[in-house]
Amino acid sequence: MLEKVTVTSGGIRLLDGLDWTIRRGEQWAIVGPSGSGKTLLAHTLLGTHFAGGRIGPPAPGRIGIVEQQHRFRGRPGATDLYYQQRFNSSDADATITVAEELAAAGISGERDGEWLDQLHVRALLPKPLIQLSNGENKRVQLAIALLEKPDLLILDNPFPGLDMEGRGLLHGIIDRLAAGGMQIILITGEHEVPGSITHMARLEKGRWRFLGPRTGFRPTENTPKIRLDDSILAQLQQYTRDAAGTPTDQPVVIGMHDVTIRYGETTVLDHIDWEVRKGERWSVSGPNGAGKSTLLSLITADNPQAYANKIWLFGRRRGTGETIWEIKQKIGFVSPELHLYFDSGASCFEVVASGLFDTIGLFRSLTPEQEERVQLWMRLLSLQDLRMRRLPQLSAGQQRMILLARALVKNPPMLILDEPCQGLDDEQTTNFRELVTELCVAFDKTLIYVSHYPQELPGCIDRFLRLEQGKRVE
C-alpha cells in the first residue's frame, strides 16, 4: 500500500520513507509516542495530505475514519460557538441535534436501528451535539462511520474518553467487524489493543520501529519518574509568594448543598451535596453522561444555573457580587475539547500565556515577568521547542500538554483537570501523573481530577466522588 511515502512540512520530514503493505485479512494497530506521525499517516492514507512516494494499489476500497477530535456544527445563521454554550440552555438550539447529524449522513433510525442500539446512540437523538459528553460524541462518530459501510475503517485513538463499559463495548465491536470481513487500522496505545488485531506497527519520529505480526511485538518498558527542575521550581514558588491577595486561606474551597441541574425534562445533577477542603485531592468518576462535566462547569463559572443553587466557592456564595473572572483567576482548568475554541493562528506560546488571563486566546501584551513565567512553565514541561508552532499543527498529545501548561501558568490554588491525559502516550501519562503529584505537594494545591481510568490517577489523590445518572453514589 505504501512505498517510500514521505510527508514534509516547513522543511521537516514528518513521515520519512514509509513502506507498508496490508494484506487481506490483516488487522493492524499503530502505536507510538505522541507526535510521531500516527494521525498524519491516517490522513495521508485518506489523501488529505500531499505525500511523496506511492500509495496503492491495490486500493482497499472505501476508507472510513473515526477521528479523535470533536467536531461541532452550528445551525446556519447562528453565532460562532463558544465554550460555555454547552451549559447554557437558552443557546442549546445553536447547534444541530444528534438526529439531524445522523440524517445528514443518510442514517435512518428505522433502517439502521441495530447499530444505533448497539452503540447506545438512540437515546442521544434529541440532544444538541455540543451538549454531548466526550464518550457520547465518540459513539455518534462511530455510528456514522460504521453505517457508511467502509471496506477499511481507521479508528484514531477511539478509546480515550470512554468509560469502562464503553471501552469493553468498543473492543467487542472491533472484534465483530474484523470477524465480518472489515479491515481495521487502529491508532491506539500499546495496552489498549483488541484481541482481533493481528499485526502491530510502532511509529517514532515518522519512521517505523516495528512492523509485523503481533506475536513479535514487545511493549516499551516503563519510563522513569519525572523530577522537577529545582531551579525552575524555586522561581515558580517565588512567584506564588509574591502574588498579592491569592485566596488560599479559606478552609472550604467548594461547597454544594442539594444542587440540582435540569435541562428541560432531563435532570443532569440530582440533589448533590459535596464539600472540598483546601489541599484535598479528589477523583471524580462515573460513566459517560453521568453529569461530571456539568458538575465541573458549576465550579469554573461556566454554567449560569449555579446562581439558582446553593454553591460556595472559596468561602463565598455564588451570586453575591463576585465576577466569573474572580473565580477563574483561582482555578487552572483543562477539558478534552478546550483546544477547539482557540484561533487556528494562535502560537503555542500565546495559548499558554492566555492562561494568565483566563481567555481563549491572548489579547494583550505581556510584561517581562509574565513572559518569563510562560517560558518557565514551557521549559518545565519540555515544550519550549513548540513555542512558535500553531496549535492545530500539533499532535493531540502535544496539544494536551500545551493546555496543561496553560492551566498551570498562573499557578492557581486549585486545579481542575478533566481527563487531562487524553491523547498523551504512555510515557507522557506517567510523567504527567508524577508531575501533578509533585506540584500539588510543592504548592499545597487543591485538585479535582476526572478520569475513567484508575491507572491514570496521580498518587496524591486522597478523596473520591462518583456520579451515576446525576446522583452521588458511595
What pLDDT is attached to residue 224?
Answer: 55
**Beta strands 12-20 and 446-450, pairing class:** unpaired
Residue range 228-270, pLDDT digits in tens: 778 887 887 777 666 544 445 678 999 999 999 998 788 999 9
Distance (Å) of CA 312 to CA 67, 147, 249, 276, 321: 39, 47, 15, 10, 12
Residue range 374-391, pLDDT digits in tens: 999 998 888 889 999 988
Q: Tell me the mean pLDDT in the region 427-443.
A: 84
Distance (Å) of CA 356 to CA 72, 83, 123, 382: 27, 18, 40, 19
> Percent of the chain at pLDDT above 70?
88
- CATH class name, domain 2-216: alpha beta
Q: Which three cell numbers stand for residue 364?
A: 494583550
pTM: predicted TM-score of the whole model, two decimal places: 0.79
Least confident of 50-54, 65-69, 290-294: 65-69
d(CA 340, CA 377): 22
Residue range 1-39, pLDDT digits in tens: 789 999 987 778 889 999 999 998 899 999 998 788 998
Q: Judging by beta carbons within 10 Å of its beta carbon (0-12, 13-18, 19+), is residue 405 exposed, middle or buried? A: buried
Asked whether the predicted pLDDT for residue 457 surpasses 70, the reply is yes
Q: Tell me the mean pLDDT in the region 186-197.
A: 92
Question: In the chain, what is the greatest distance between 2 CA atoms, to the nearest angstrom?
Answer: 67
Q: To the nearest whole number, what is the mean pLDDT of the chain? A: 84
For the chain, residues classed under CATH 3.40.50.300 are 2-216, 230-473
The answer to whether residues 412 and 436 touch, using CB atoms and an 8 Å cutoff, is no
Please, which pLDDT band fits residue 69 given cuts at 50, 70 and 90? low
Question: Topology of domain 230-473, per CATH?
Answer: Rossmann fold (3.40.50)
